[in-house]
Amino acid sequence: MTAPQQARRALPDDASFAALEQRVYGLERMVQDLNQLFSGRIGEVSAQLSGLGAKLDERSRTPWATIVSAMGVVLALAVAGGQLAKSPIDDALARLERDVLRLDLAATPLSTFAEFKGAYADDRRAARDDLLSRREAEGRAFDRLNDRLDRLERGGER
């Protein structure tokens, strides 16, 4: 092929140029239609996603009223259970306090024991002094009897 043939071949004729232009126009038209379709669909999907997100947010919102009510019920049950567990202990403590008071009233005070101890010590001291004085008196009487017996024995020897 010669250069003019190649040049002719490189330049399209009007019919092929018109066909190419028609194809480009069709492609552009399809791209615009697809663009409109997708932009409309994307807008719809976006709106649906927003609505779904709002519903999910609404469902996942913390139900504070329910939680506070449940906590109140749990607290009431804990207080009632605690009171039921505490009442026998309170009764036992009241019984013990009553018994301790009764024992305190029936018990002899410590001052009485101190007085008794002092009187007992005084009695023991008096008894010991009495015993010592009797022993001394008996010892003197024994010595007198020994002296008398010695005198009698000496008198009988004479």
Give the span between the Cα atoms of 139 and 85, in whole angstroms: 78
pLDDT of residue 3: 55
74-126: per-residue pLDDT in tens?
A: 888 888 888 888 889 999 999 999 999 998 888 877 777 778 788 888 888 98
Give the span between the Cα atoms of 20 and 14, in whole angstroms: 10
6-41: per-residue pLDDT in tens?
A: 545 555 578 888 888 888 888 888 888 877 777 777
Give the span between the Cα atoms of 45 and 39, in whole angstroms: 10
- As a whole number, the mean pLDDT across the chain is 81
Beta-carbon contacts of residue 9 (< 8 Å; ≥ 6 apart): 1
pLDDT of residue 4: 54
Q: What is the largest CA-CA distance in the chain?
A: 206
Q: What is the mean pLDDT of residues 49-58?
A: 74
Query: In terms of residues, how long is the chain?
Result: 158
pLDDT of residue 9: 57
Give the span between the Cα atoms of 149 and 151, in whole angstroms: 5
pLDDT of residue 39: 76
Name the DSSP class of 148.
Answer: H
Residue located via tokens 């024991």: 113
